[in-house]
Copies of this chain bind each other. A is one copy, B any other.
Amino acid sequence: MSRSRQGSLVSFRPDIKVVDCTMRDGGLVNNFQFTEDFVRDLYQANIRAGVDYMEFGYKASKEIFDPKKFGKWKFCDEKDIRAVVGDNKSGMKISVMADVGRTDFRKDILNKKDSVVDLVRVATYINTIPAAIEMLEDAKAKGYETTVNIMAVSKVNEGDLEGGLELLAQSSVDVIYLVDSFGAFYPEQIERLCDLYLNIGVKYQKKIGVHAHNNQQLAFANTIEALSMGASYLDATVSGMGRGAGNCYMELLLSFLRNPKYNKAAVMDFVEKHMLKLKAEGVVWGYDIPYLLTGILNSHPSSAIQFIKDGRTDYSVFYQELMDNTL
């Protein structure tokens, strides 16, 4: 079954939810070292902007990751979130992400009645879906909304993906995310994958989300392609801040959405106050040739991040190295 576009360019779909991942995906750029001011202002900016969910970071295991080596948003202790949001009397919901195998979720994810967090997002690979479901059911039993992000699907064959999606769809999860981890997809491919996700989603009454990367300057294009196909949970970050080439720009996304609740001025003011400084201080992310190359080769951005960190500009040599190591 092939799906036609949902909604139009002049109306809005009330099912759309915008998820700000600036501190979570952006935390991968600066080791989660955000200033107090940055976090407080981002919280206020997101409320003013009409963002539906703000993700504060990861619930990473302190057994696996040394808290001395990371900013606190890699762990998102309840007290740290509450220091910013109090009881979060806003209409905006709070989200955290937990990676399969890198979290002590039974201990670290509190019962919802003791937490200001609303949404627990589980990140999994195709081969850890049973472990992801265990986490999702734990979070659901504790009282949370849940989503699951299947990462690196550009490396998964469609039969396996369909099997994984069926498994997840039979769990209690609320939203299944289409994730373009490596920035490898073109809008045409997003369209086809959305078809697959949405067919299963409709069958099991799950919403579909999209999380894109900007390796080929397609994060925004792919996000609105998925949106137009019927995806309703849309991830974005302020100025696209995120690992490597970064994500869909919140500024672009809010400019596209027609729901009058969204207010891009709030985000622009935040950019003016914080993101320009961050960039000036030398925090580096965003489209660049090395990320284009890992994107088209459908591979992890880590080698491109290293290339840039090393101050290299011999792109052709890097491309040959990548082909030696990935094809």
A residues with CB within 8 A of B: 5, 9, 186-189, 214, 216-221, 224-225, 228, 249, 251-252, 255-256, 265, 268-269, 271-272, 276, 289, 292, 296, 313-316, 319
Contacts and interface: CB of A to CB of B under 8 A. Distances in A.
Contacts of A265: 315-316, 319
A158 to B, nearest CB: 14
Given A251-B289, A292-B252, A272 B315 contact: yes
Contact of A188 (B228, B316, B319): B228
B221 A218 contact: yes
A216 B296 contact: no
A104 to B, nearest CB: 39
B186 A224 contact: yes
Number of copies: 2
A279 to B, nearest CB: 11
Contacts of A296: 255
Contacts of A187: 187, 221, 224-225
Nearest to A295: B255
A289 B315 CA distance: 28
Contacts of A256: 186, 216
Nearest to A220: B217
B216 A252 contact: yes
A220 B220 contact: no
Contacts of A224: 186-187
A251 B315 CA distance: 11
Contacts of A9: 186, 188-189
